[in-house]
Amino acid sequence: MNARMWFFNGGTEGQFKISKMTAVTGESLPPATHLHVTQEGVVPSVAAFTLKGVVSNERYTTRSEKIDLVNRQVAIGREQARWGAFIALKKSEAWWALTQDERRAIFEDRSKHIHLGLAALPQVARRLHHCRDLGEDSPFDFLTWFDFESKDAATFEDLLSALRATEEWEYVEREVDIRVERATPAW
């Protein structure tokens, strides 16, 4: 198994209680009450759905942007960050047919994806997983896992609203938004 792989199992058990699942664009996922986030693989007893992806190298970030990010970001899993969001995205074939310079121009020059994310740091922690180049077909291209404290929920909502209004998001053809709360204080 790829050591950078993470599994998101939706079902009736897990460290996170699902508070809301929204099909923002396209089809939803099967109903689930809990989300189990693990590197151990599929947990069959709890899996109404399993999504997986690998943490990979950056595709658009420059060194100067990376320095800004590293200076401000925090790792996911802070004890006090009991609210989470799991956003699964699929982009269109039109997006993937663009060349690197065209995607970068949309992603950052015009949509300010990195700068919008920076504005939510350090309150909102984030880990991005790629699914498009897994060996098996995946219903999504990206899985992003966020956490934050309840007092920072508005910062997260502002980030999401801003991203969804960008030119980049015109290429999103499926988006499922799952909100969670950590079921137990320690995990």
Q: How far is the CB of 80 from its own copies (least distance, A)?
A: 30
Q: Is residue 123 a contact residue for its own copies (CB under 8 A)?
A: no
Q: Is residue 2 a contact residue for its own copies (CB under 8 A)?
A: yes
Is residue 181 within 8 Å of residue 84, measured between CB atoms? yes
Backbone φ and ψ of 127, nearest 5°: -135, 125
Judged by CB under 8 A, the residue of 31, 38, 110, 133 near its own copies is 133
Residue at 98: amino acid letter: L
Q: Is residue 151 a contact residue for its own copies (CB under 8 A)?
A: no
Q: Is residue 101 a contact residue for its own copies (CB under 8 A)?
A: yes
Judged by CB under 8 A, the residue of 43, 54, 74, 163 near its own copies is 54
The residues near 125 (Cβ < 8 Å, ≥ 6 apart) are: 73, 74, 75, 76, 77, 78, 81, 146, 147, 148
The footprint of its own copies (CB under 8 A) covers 1-3, 5, 52, 54, 56-63, 65-66, 96-102, 104, 130, 132-138
